[in-house]
Structure 1
């Protein structure tokens, strides 16, 4: 089945933050200093519905089925804007959770950076993730980027295998919020 990919709408907040949580669960728990799933979804929902931040609907595309049900999402942005887009996230962490953590930088810039990629469990294994990634790669190229990058958890070999199959190359290892990741990229 082929899915339609469209820009996310603010109204997609009822589904997309749950997908984002699936993609970054441990990281969000570090941000809110709790493993409360509802609070993590609340945190991501606040950010998704606002503009000009890492997790905004403005930076997200969704895969929808023939009934316009969201079944996957991918969030990406200009890596050169990372610091500016991260500021509202850090502010919310500090204001709402009294968390002064400043996570390591995920991108060195000069790339279209893919922050989260997630697929609903009901359609996993049906090509939605590949379709979202191929869309994002093409989108990055049409926006004038020479490189599309992301980080992948070293403990997620299936994701690494998917990215490699799509042409991503393994870059350097990085530490991020207590985990070990590889930066992967495609030119």
Structure 2
């Protein structure tokens, strides 16, 4: 099922669905933020930030894929990598205040790119090309906005995701630690 032209900018009102989809891609990291493996608390955490402006997980930075029935089938969150530190600040402040967590994560992006923070597809919608369509949409968005590169991280333990990104044209960059795991920074040049 192609969903081309059924991708749109997220809205704050999508908070009833999108954070649960996002959690699929970010579970381990969010659990480290809240210092427990509590799915309900993690969804609450993501929902709170999704509905607000000016942070990494905001609806402002998210695109959603809509299936033929009008349901949200996937999401992709991405932003200007040069704004990473500024967008991360509200998250770090909150986890320190709410969870007494003073962790400082490595930077996911060095900037100078449109950075794809997370991409996830609802379990019922997997295998239908939605992730690929979201990636193509994000690449086109980045190109239209004048970015010269799109980047993302892929877990070394997730070779299937790495193969998907390579099929789309992403190249392996440097290996780096992040949030207790090992990742490759992958990128695609747009010029």
Q: CA deviation at 1:66?
A: 2.5
**What is the deviation of 1:141?**
0.6
State which of 105, 118, 124 in structure 2 corresponds to 1:116. Answer: 118
Encode CA deviations 1:99-145: one digit per residue, 9 max, x unaligned: 11111000010000000000011111110000000000110010000
**How far apart are the structure 1 equivalents of 2:79 and 2:170?**
17
Q: For structure 2, which runs of at least 5 residues remain unmatched after alignment?
A: none
What is the count of residue pairs matched by the alignment?
A: 187
Q: Which of 85, 88, 103 is matched with 2:87 structurally? A: 85
What is the CA–CA distance in structure 2 between the aligned matches of 1:102 and 1:178, rounded to whole Å?
Answer: 11
Deviation at 1:91, TM superposition (A): 1.0
Cα distance, 1:177 vs structure 2 = 0.8
Using structure 1 for the length normalisation, give the TM-score: 0.99
Q: Deviation string for 1:138-183 (max 9, x for gaps)?
A: 1001000000000000000100000000000000001001000000
Query: Cα distance, 1:95 vs. partner?
Result: 1.3
Q: Confirm or deny that 1:60 pairs with 2:56.
A: no
Query: Residue 148 of structure 2: which of 146, 149, 155 is its match?
Result: 146
Partner residue of 1:160 out of 145, 159, 162: 162
Aligned to 2:7: 5
CA distance in 2, matches of 1:160, 1:14: 29
Q: Counterpart of 2:24 in 1: which secondary structure?
A: helix
CA RMSD of aligned residues (A): 0.6
Query: More displaced, 87-96 or 75-84?
Result: 87-96
Q: CA deviation at 1:67?
A: 2.8
Could you give the per-residue CA deviations for residues 7-27 of structure 1, whole angstroms, max 9, x where no partner exists?
001011011101111001111
Q: How does 1:20-99 map to 2 (within 5 A)?
A: 20-99=22-101
Preserved CA contact (<8 Å) 2:156 2:182? yes
Return 5+ residue gaps in structure 1 as ranges.
none
Tell me the SS of whatever aligns to 1:184. strand
- C-alpha distance in structure 1 between counterparts of 2:184 and 2:24, whole Å: 19
